[in-house]
Structure 1
Amino acid sequence: MELQNQLKALSEKVPQFKEQIETEESTKHAFVLPFISLLGYDTYNPLEVVPEFTADIGLKKGEKVDYAIFQNGQPILIIECKNWKESLNCHNSQLFRYFHTTKTRFALLTNGIEYRFYTDLEEPNKMDEKPFLEFQIDQLKESAVQEIAKFHKSNFDIDKIVDNASSLKYTKEIKKLIHEELQEPSFSFVKLFANKVYSGRLTEKVMTEFNDLVHKALNQTISERVNDRLNAALNKEAEKQQEEASDVIEEKSKIETTEEELEGYRIIVAILRRVLPVSRIVHRDTQSYFGVLLDDNNRKPLCRLHFNGSIKYIGLFDAMKKESRKSLQALEDIYQYERELLATVGFYEE
């Protein structure tokens, strides 16, 4: 949760600062270094974060990658940065060369807004052409936050990230293909379904017709699945509300107002009607006591009758709404507390 909040705070800086940032160096300081920092690495510690890390390529010496993050004396992530205005599509070849000369398993290409994480799933020590994790800092989804958390200093585990990277990479590619097929089904995709449901010859006319049918069926299926999920969620919420209502009904059913409590209430009304209209004196029974309220307001208790035990009490209230109980030998004993009851009315009326 803390990482998610930090990423959100960083994303909010993007629209605030980017128009004032003109250079790659400014992009690093405004966006990239804060990102490295929220991963738990000390950007001022040269043993953890090395700027301008040397990555010599064969006879070509002096090649440097913008940052390298170290753990236990070994580089675990190299980072190549670009100006936030630049597209990343034409820069992965440069990072590809750096990756080959270092011992790291992970590389990050970023312009401070878009982030692309690479590893070597297809061939050892050779960076894959496609990233296994890709996101924009200002359009973060919860699933991306969970993957970013795996690169945090406290969580970093090479084997776990590599194992998960394979699933992430191919899932991303499959989702991309599904999205494309939903937008415009390919010939082979349409043919796959046409072969299963049509027994005749698949002429050009038939395939054109099936292209529309497959496109329509796909979108209808997704809409129906979404509606089913929504209805299931609504039904679950309705069931929850019904259960809560049943609990309230059950709780109310346990309350039994006795004739003795009502007789006590009539005595209290007889006392208070001298200073209050009867309509303002309301009773409300609970499992613990029988309450008498002013204006049916539970913040204005006039008294309480505790008749559930072997000894009966009347609960009286002072100006601070502190209750004190007085024992009753008979219902008529309520008249002994006429002065206290009238005083309680005065507290609220003032």
Structure 2
Amino acid sequence: MIDNIFKERVLAHSQHVLKVGQFCSTEETTKQALILPFLDILGFAPYDPTKVKAEYSADFQGSKNSERVDYALFCHDVPVMFIEAKSYSENLTNHSPQLSRYFNATPEVAVAAITNGREWLFFTDLNEKNLMDKTPFLKINFENFDETKITQLCKFCYDKFQPEALRMLAEESIYLTAFTKIITSSLKEVDIEFIRYVAGRSNVGRQLNQRFLESIQPIVKQAVEKTVSAMVVYGLSSKNESVVEETDEIEVIDETAPIIDPENNKIVTTYTERLLFDYVKMILGDDVNIIAKDTESYFSLLFNGKSNRWILRYYDNKQRPSIVVPIELTDEHKKEITRAKLELSGNQIIIDRPENILRISGLIQDSLEYCQNNDNFRRGIL
């Protein structure tokens, strides 16, 4: 179970990186402003030399060169993790060979990380003992933070640090990547072996020869498409534990059906609202973290899941569905709305069909930029 205080501190640190990262123009500033505060959250007090040692010697025995890693983290007087620090603006891709030299020279170290304060790449030695793997087993990006990774970060805390548990975490991560790749490939290609597996598990009562398997390939493809589509629709409601209940007959799922919140039946996410979410994602791109949140009164799209940073609110009124945005509509915005042949009623833009949101993509982009600007959310401005 994740400690709530730890979770809150990690989320606060993510906001801190977004707020001050752009001002970290040097490696030293990055260390002081972004890296050391995160080590403190993990329980490695930066100014306790029994836990954190800067410029730690990481030479191979007998080496004449003075190889020093930026930080070595200690548990019970044993180095357990090396950290190579770079400035906020640096790309981390080209620096892992340097980190691997430090790691390979110190067998007792279980994990190594390289960071520029906004990104953290974690490595271990799964492929060959005491030789750092070429690819990281965990990536953390505090500028586009994935809250689901807090559980993994918790394993790096000083009071929970166990090398074997981290190696197991690394193995699970690699297995997950490999399995995901194979499953994705199988679902896309629907090859004969996949068809054989599905037909065999389905007890179709036929001999599974090549001719029969090829004949049912289109049917299996159709079944895959329906299943994936249903999982996507139901995935919008994170509280749903299953897509289709086991019954004697196959249950046909209506993709356009509304989704009712199991904890509040007054909150109903309509198909129109889900389409609107998809269209906004098309406008802003997949790299922007947008979370859909429905309430009894309106459906909102939140930047980074923050309730005060809503990109738009949609009111699914049957007669006059509309959206509002958090920014004041300028003359240029009003011209864009007029050119899009959409109606403006006060501060509400009438959106009678969800695809009409594509006509005012410039306004939606401006709304996102407003939400991304931390200055708009400082105390005293709102």
Candidates 226, 232, 237, aligned match of 2:263: 237
Are 1:190 and 1:210, in contact at CA under 8 Å, matched by a contact in 2? no
Change (3 A) 1:193 1:160: closer
Please report how far the alpha carbon of residue 227 of structure 1 lies from its aligned counterpart in structure 2 after TM superposition.
7.4
When the two structures are aligned, how many residues end up with a matched partner?
236
Task: Tell me what 1:9 maps to.
Answer: 12
Task: Tell me what 2:162 maps to.
Answer: 157
Task: Tell me what 2:232 maps to.
Answer: 223
Please report how far the alpha carbon of residue 192 of structure 1 lies from its aligned counterpart in structure 2 after TM superposition.
3.8
Please report how far the alpha carbon of residue 37 of structure 1 lies from its aligned counterpart in structure 2 after TM superposition.
0.9
Q: Which moved more, 1:110-119 or 1:215-224?
A: 215-224
Task: Tell me what 1:295 maps to.
Answer: none
Candidates 158, 168, 171, aligned match of 2:173: 168
Please report how far the alpha carbon of residue 50 of structure 1 lies from its aligned counterpart in structure 2 after TM superposition.
0.8
Q: Whole-Å Cα distance in 2 between the matches of residues 6 and 82 of structure 1?
A: 23
Candidates 139, 146, 149, aligned match of 1:144: 149
Question: SS at the partner of 2:158?
Answer: coil
- Residue 145 of structure 2 aligns to which amino acid in structure 1? L
RMSD over equivalenced CA pairs, Å: 3.7
Q: Whole-Å Cα distance in 2 between the matches of residues 121 and 38 of structure 1?
A: 27
Task: Tell me what 1:77 maps to.
Answer: 81
Q: Whole-Å Cα distance in 2 between the matches of residues 92 and 231 of structure 1?
A: 41
Task: Tell me what 1:35 maps to.
Answer: 38
Are 2:239 and 2:262, in contact at CA under 8 Å, matched by a contact in 1? no
Are 2:58 and 2:105, in contact at CA under 8 Å, matched by a contact in 1? yes
Change (3 A) 1:113 1:27: same
Change (3 A) 1:30 1:172: farther
> What stretches of structure 2 of length at least 5 have no aligned partner?
200-207, 242-258, 268-382
Please report how far the alpha carbon of residue 236 of structure 1 lies from its aligned counterpart in structure 2 after TM superposition.
4.1
**Residue 92 (structure 2) pairs with residue 88 (structure 1):** yes
Q: Whole-Å Cα distance in 2 between the matches of residues 174 and 221 of structure 1?
A: 21
Bigger-Rg structure (1/2): 1
Change (3 A) 1:210 1:166: same
Please report how far the alpha carbon of residue 5 of structure 1 lies from its aligned counterpart in structure 2 after TM superposition.
1.2
Are 2:21 and 2:34, in contact at CA under 8 Å, matched by a contact in 1? no
Q: Whole-Å Cα distance in 1 between the matches of residues 40 and 186 of structure 2?
A: 40
Q: Whole-Å Cα distance in 2 between the matches of residues 12 and 228 of structure 1?
A: 26
Q: Whole-Å Cα distance in 1 between the matches of residues 5 and 223 of structure 2?
A: 45
Higher relative contact order (CA 8 A, sep 6+): 2
Task: Tell me what 2:130 maps to.
Answer: 125
Are 1:190 and 1:211, in contact at CA under 8 Å, matched by a contact in 2? no
Are 1:96 and 1:127, in contact at CA under 8 Å, matched by a contact in 2? yes
Q: Whole-Å Cα distance in 2 between the matches of residues 43 and 231 of structure 1?
A: 42
Task: Tell me what 1:48 maps to.
Answer: 51
Are 1:28 and 1:112, in contact at CA under 8 Å, matched by a contact in 2? yes
Change (3 A) 1:29 1:219: same
Question: SS at the partner of 2:150?
Answer: helix
Are 2:21 and 2:118, in contact at CA under 8 Å, matched by a contact in 1? no
Q: Whole-Å Cα distance in 1 between the matches of residues 101 and 223 of structure 2?
A: 44
Task: Tell me what 2:361 maps to.
Answer: none
Change (3 A) 1:24 1:211: farther
Are 1:117 and 1:134, in contact at CA under 8 Å, matched by a contact in 2? yes
Q: Which moved more, 1:32-41 or 1:130-139?
A: 130-139
Question: SS at the partner of 2:70?
Answer: strand
Please report how far the alpha carbon of residue 125 of structure 1 lies from its aligned counterpart in structure 2 after TM superposition.
1.0
Q: Whole-Å Cα distance in 2 between the matches of residues 227 and 10 of structure 1?
A: 27
Q: Whole-Å Cα distance in 2 between the matches of residues 180 and 87 of structure 1?
A: 31
**Residue 29 (structure 2) pairs with residue 26 (structure 1):** yes
Q: Whole-Å Cα distance in 1 between the matches of residues 159 and 118 of structure 2?
A: 24
Are 1:81 and 1:110, in contact at CA under 8 Å, matched by a contact in 2? yes
Deviation per CA, 1:189-217: give whole Å up to 9, x if none: 54544667797779xxx99x899868845
Are 2:114 and 2:121, in contact at CA under 8 Å, matched by a contact in 1? yes
TM-score by length of 2: 0.52
Are 1:108 and 1:116, in contact at CA under 8 Å, matched by a contact in 2? yes
Question: SS at the partner of 1:9?
Answer: helix
Aligned-residue identity in percent:
30
Change (3 A) 1:94 1:211: farther
Q: Whole-Å Cα distance in 2 between the matches of residues 123 and 162 of structure 1?
A: 12
Change (3 A) 1:199 1:82: same
Task: Tell me what 1:287 maps to.
Answer: none
Please report how far the alpha carbon of residue 104 of structure 1 lies from its aligned counterpart in structure 2 after TM superposition.
0.4
Change (3 A) 1:221 1:239: closer
